């Protein structure tokens, strides 16, 4: 237990020292270092952006030439630049036009550190379904050949999500960043080379097997 606490304290202290709003910043930093999902000048959408640490990381990467849009059920406060726009809302109830901010140009990258409101029972089902919901809307948001990363809690439905990611993206896989707590089941799926024509309604063979998700998402 002492070692786990030490790990948590390391990233917590580092975030405070370096000015990040949360330790989760280091998860995106590692993912992007390993897979180069976000690049300078990119147009990025952050789903479930509160408290704003992923916005901070993405803003630094894209620079002033890029554009960053974030949405969350909770308001986000922070000293972001003029090319960062945030809104309060549920992405599942927000139109693509609203997320695009009236622009015709789709996003180069979609990122999500969302987790469903946890119940302590079957949370991985809710998490996997949330990721599936994101994939379903990607054709309206993400450019062909775009990239994506999403948090998911590993469980028995995890292989289904990986299979779908590999079908929808040219390259796909999973990463568990060092900043993830050892006791956590969270990991991050990623996709490179989006193929929108391959996004289809999910296989209904297990329809009804998953419990209904709790509305919204948690931190």
Annotated catalytic residue, options 151, 166, 176, 202:
151
CB atoms under 10 Å from CB of 182, counted, come to: 10
28 DSSP assignment? H
**8 A C-beta contact, residue 163 and residue 107:** no
- Rounded CA-CA distance 183/194 in Å is 32
31: left (phi over 0), alpha (psi -120 to 50) or beta: alpha
**Counting Cβ atoms within 10 Å, is residue 130 exposed (0-12), middle (13-18) or buried (19+)?**
buried
Q: Residue 157 CA to chain centroid, in angstroms?
A: 18
Which strand (E) or helix (H) includes residue 172? Answer: strand 169-175
Strand-pair category, 107-112 with 43-47: parallel
Radius of gyration of the chain (CA): 17
Could you tell me the two tokens for 17?
Answer: 């020292």
* Residue 166 annotated in active site: no
Q: Which residues are catalytic?
A: 151
């Amino acid at each position: 237990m002492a070692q786990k606490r030490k790990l948590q304290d390391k990233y917590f202290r580092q975030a405070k020292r370096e000015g990040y709003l949360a330790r989760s910043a280091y998860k995106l930093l590692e993912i992007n270092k390993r897979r180069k999902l976000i690049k300078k000048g990119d147009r990025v959408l952050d789903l479930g952006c509160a408290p704003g640490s992923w916005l901070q990381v993405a803003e630094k990467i894209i620079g002033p030439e890029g554009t960053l849009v974030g949405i969350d059920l909770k308001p986000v406060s922070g000293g972001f630049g003029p090319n960062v726009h945030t809104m309060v809302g549920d992405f599942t109830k927000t139109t693509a036009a609203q997320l695009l901010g009236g622009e015709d140009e789709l996003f180069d990258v979609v990122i999500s550190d969302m987790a469903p409101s946890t119940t302590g029972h079957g949370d991985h089902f809710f998490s996997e379904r949330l990721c599936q919901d994101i994939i379903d809307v990607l054709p309206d948001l993400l450019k062909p050949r775009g990239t994506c990363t999403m948090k998911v809690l590993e469980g028995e439905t995890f292989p289904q999500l990986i299979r779908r990611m590999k079908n929808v993206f040219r390259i796909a896989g999973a990463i568990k960043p060092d900043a993830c707590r050892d006791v956590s089941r969270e990991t991050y799926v990623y996709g490179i080379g989006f193929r929108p024509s391959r996004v289809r309604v999910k296989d209904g063979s297990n329809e009804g097997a998953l419990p209904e998700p709790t509305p919204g998402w948690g931190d």
